[in-house]
């Protein structure tokens, strides 16, 4: 039975690998489609999809492994998959020594507006090729990426040009020869160096290969800094310290679109211990609790429901949360009583909004709603 299970596992793994190969090859075939079919995203691409799948399967079947190609030169018309990967005669090849923004990666320009730097990188490589012939000498077989080569078009090294124009960065030991090109791009504020960006390696670690949309979120301007002692702190625009923080992606620092996103990733606000619990109650009311409040220990912060941690009471109040500890409880006999925090039975009282119970911020609010002070 174990042997049969093992065989089945190997068979399933083989099928999975085969489908990944076909998917890669289909991408290769789609990359070779006319620009109109690639960009339409609707009818043209749909009609081309079936043919691309078949052509992709054939392209993969005809391709060689990186090991077979090491030391050889591959030449011909090229298609661009992303800012550091080409396809020549059905063979995917990574440009040696560079890394480029992912196709769905975004950056900030000099005006701090978000733009698709991944797409810009792809366009830059396409412009360097300009439909001409590309020649790549395969120098290595990368464990994860496949064939890696030094490629040239029109007499220029494509990897070097991508770094020099600010659309890629040096990558790995082979990238050391492009360090001076990067310094020049940075000095002249070309490409991604005109604004702010996250290194592709860190971007992939943070977001994987899933598309990330910023629609409706505006600019992601919250700075996540890593202090000298390793503490992670976030700074919002106009806060003390914001202007002094220069986001260093090499240190693992980054930008966030919201305070909630910063919290979820382990960043905290500078200042006192962040111990203010802000809770959205079932009736939609927003309350915050401080350490020592009877409700603090039992309150669970649930981000998807709108709950938050805050470092300062002012931040909670600014977000619409209130510290309302007076419990209004409808009794079985119909009487409406309110309990203050120092009442002996306060902790036993459970507020059920569905049963007419509620929290109050002020005694007069409770009495206005018909609740009376609970006897001790």
User: Are 3 and 115 in the same domain?
Assistant: no
Q: What is the residue-level pLDDT of the chain in tens, covering all 376 positions? A: 333 333 333 333 333 333 333 334 444 443 443 333 333 333 333 333 333 333 333 333 344 544 578 889 999 999 888 899 998 988 889 999 999 998 778 899 988 888 999 999 999 999 999 878 999 999 998 765 678 999 999 889 999 999 999 999 999 899 999 999 999 999 999 999 999 998 888 877 666 433 333 333 445 778 888 887 788 888 887 766 677 777 776 677 777 777 777 877 788 776 555 678 888 988 788 888 887 676 777 788 887 888 888 877 778 888 888 887 788 999 999 999 999 878 888 888 888 877 888 888 778 888 989 999 999 8
User: Are 178 and 88 in the same domain?
Assistant: yes
User: Are 84 and 201 in the same domain?
Assistant: yes
- Contact predicate 259/278, CB 8 Å: no
User: Are 167 and 293 in the same domain?
Assistant: no
The answer to the question of residue 271 being in a domain is: no
User: Are 72 and 197 in the same domain?
Assistant: yes
User: Are 229 and 347 in the same domain?
Assistant: no
The answer to the question of residue 100 being in a domain is: yes
Closest CA relative to residue 315, chosen from 260, 363, 360, 362: 260
CA distance 95 to 188: 24
12-60 pLDDT, tens per residue? 333 333 333 333 444 444 344 333 333 333 333 333 333 333 333 333 3
The answer to the question of residue 131 being in a domain is: yes
The answer to the question of residue 313 being in a domain is: yes
The answer to the question of residue 256 being in a domain is: yes
CA distance 129 to 94: 15
Burial class of 318 by CB neighbour count within 10 A (0 to 12, 13 to 18, 19+): exposed
The overall pTM is greater than 0.75: no
The answer to the question of residue 82 being in a domain is: yes
User: Are 2 and 107 in the same domain?
Assistant: no
The answer to the question of residue 269 being in a domain is: no
Phi, psi at residue 171, to the nearest 5°?
-140, 125
CA distance 38 to 290: 56
User: Are 180 and 128 in the same domain?
Assistant: yes
Query: What residue numbers bound the domain in which 311 lies?
Result: 276-318
Closest CA relative to residue 103, chosen from 126, 119, 115, 127: 119
Total of domains in the chain: 5
- Contact predicate 327/357, CB 8 Å: yes
Last residue of a domain, one of 47, 62, 77: 62
Beta strand 336-339 pairing with 372-373: parallel
The answer to the question of residue 270 being in a domain is: no
User: Are 346 and 358 in the same domain?
Assistant: yes
Residues 6+ positions from 143 with CB-CB distance below 8 Å: none
Helices 43-62 and 2-31 pack at an angle, to 10 degrees, of 120
């Amino acid at each position: 039975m174990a042997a049969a299970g093992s065989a089945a596992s190997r068979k399933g793994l083989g099928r999975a690998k085969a489908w990944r190969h076909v998917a890669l090859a289909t991408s290769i075939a789609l990359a070779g489609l006319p620009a109109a079919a690639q960009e339409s995203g609707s009818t043209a691409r749909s009609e081309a999809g079936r043919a691309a799948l078949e052509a992709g399967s054939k392209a993969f079947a005809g391709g060689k492994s990186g090991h077979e190609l090491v030391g050889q030169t591959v030449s011909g018309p090229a298609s661009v998959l992303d800012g550091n990967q080409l396809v020549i005669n059905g063979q995917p090849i990574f440009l040696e020594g560079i890394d480029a923004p992912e196709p769905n990666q975004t950056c900030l320009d000099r005006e701090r507006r978000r733009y698709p730097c991944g797409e810009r990188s792809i366009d830059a490589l396409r412009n360097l090729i300009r439909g001409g012939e590309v020649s790549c000498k395969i120098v290595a077989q990368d464990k994860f990426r496949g064939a890696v080569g030094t490629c040239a078009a029109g007499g220029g090294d494509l990897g070097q040009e991508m770094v020099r124009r600010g659309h890629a960065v040096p990558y790995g030991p082979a990238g050391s020869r492009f360090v001076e090109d990067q310094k020049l791009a940075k000095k002249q504020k070309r490409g991604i160096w005109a604004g702010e960006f996250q290194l592709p390696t860190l971007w992939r670690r943070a977001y994987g290969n899933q598309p990330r949309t910023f629609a409706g979120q505006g600019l992601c301007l919250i700075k996540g800094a890593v202090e000298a002692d390793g503490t992670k702190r976030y700074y919002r625009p106009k806060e003390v310290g914001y202007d002094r923080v220069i986001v260093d992606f090499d240190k693992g620092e980054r930008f966030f679109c919201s305070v909630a996103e910063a919290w979820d990733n382990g960043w905290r606000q500078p200042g006192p211990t962040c111990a203010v619990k802000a809770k959205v109650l079932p009736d939609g009311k927003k309350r915050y609790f401080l350490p020592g409040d009877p409700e603090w220990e039992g309150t669970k912060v649930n981000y998807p429901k709108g709950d938050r941690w805050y470092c300062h009471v002012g931040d909670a109040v600014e977000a619409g949360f209130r510290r309302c500890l007076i419990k209004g409880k409808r009794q079985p006999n119909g009487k409406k009583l309110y309990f203050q925090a120092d009442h002996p039975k306060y902790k036993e009282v459970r507020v059920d909004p569905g049963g007419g119970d509620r929290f109050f911020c002020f005694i007069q609010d409770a009495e206005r709603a018909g609740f009376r002070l609970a006897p001790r």
